[in-house]
Amino acid sequence: MSLPPTPGRVFDDPLAVEDATGDIVGRARQLWTARQEGRPPQPLRGRHLGLVYAVACSRSQALFCDAAHALGAQVAVMPLQLRVDDPPHEVSSTARMLGRLYEAIECQGVEPIVVGRIAEHAGIPVLDDAAVRLASLDLLAQRVQPGLPARQGRTLVLQALILHALA
């Protein structure tokens, strides 16, 4: 039995936890079915997500933003200059501010220790390079619907991961 997602938890590779993987694949299948029936769901309408990055990568940023927007969310994209050796109060105050502004955030290219500290203090779900892990997204997409075009499959799995994190 899987543990329910909780605020302050880091969501990284969707293949890392089998229970979460099953939920993510199930959610992605529901999204796929709804789209095929002409009723794309927007469960995140009016919700605010953040995307922070250490190094800009337009492809992974676009993938995350497109996936979230299709679910109805608004996404703010901003650079993050926090480093492992920054004073702890800087990391914690930045994390608390992110937690007040957004319901979840995606960290791209941010050091894993910093991502963990952000999750510890933000009190919201934190996705770690979720849109960057293309191999994992592709593998799960094939479990959702074999033969899906790569971009469409990645988007579905990423959307399911976002919904799983916010559940």
The predicted-structure confidence for 67-100, as pLDDT tens digits, reads as follows 999 999 999 999 999 999 999 999 999 999 999 9
Domain assignment of residue 4, yes or no: no
Residue 22 sits in a domain whose CATH number is: 3.40.50.1370
Q: Residue 146 contacts by C-beta under 8 Å, 6 or more apart in sequence?
A: none
Domain assignment of residue 5, yes or no: no
Q: Which pLDDT belongs to residue 2?
A: 39
Domain assignment of residue 52, yes or no: yes
Domain assignment of residue 91, yes or no: yes
Domains: count for the chain: 1
Q: 29 is in which domain, residue-wise?
A: 10-39+47-166
Query: Distance between CA atoms of 29 and 33, rounded to whole angstroms?
Result: 6
Domain assignment of residue 3, yes or no: no
Q: Which pLDDT belongs to residue 57?
A: 87
pLDDT at residue 3 tops 70: no
For residue 99, what are the CA distances in angstroms to 19, 81, 89, 104?
Answer: 26, 17, 15, 8
pLDDT band at 18; cut points 50, 70, 90: low
Report the half-sphere exposure of 165 (CA within 13 A, side-chain side): 28
pLDDT tens digits, one per residue of 34-73: 999 999 999 999 999 999 999 888 999 999 999 999 999 9
Domain assignment of residue 2, yes or no: no
Angle at which helices 150-166 and 134-144 pack, to 10 degrees?
90
**Token code pair at residue 37:** 């029936």
DSSP for 37-56 reads: TT----TTTT-EEEEEESS-
Domain assignment of residue 108, yes or no: yes
Q: What global pTM score does this model have?
A: 0.91
pLDDT band at 12; cut points 50, 70, 90: confident
Q: Which pLDDT belongs to residue 7?
A: 65
Domain assignment of residue 1, yes or no: no
Mean pLDDT on 151-156:
96
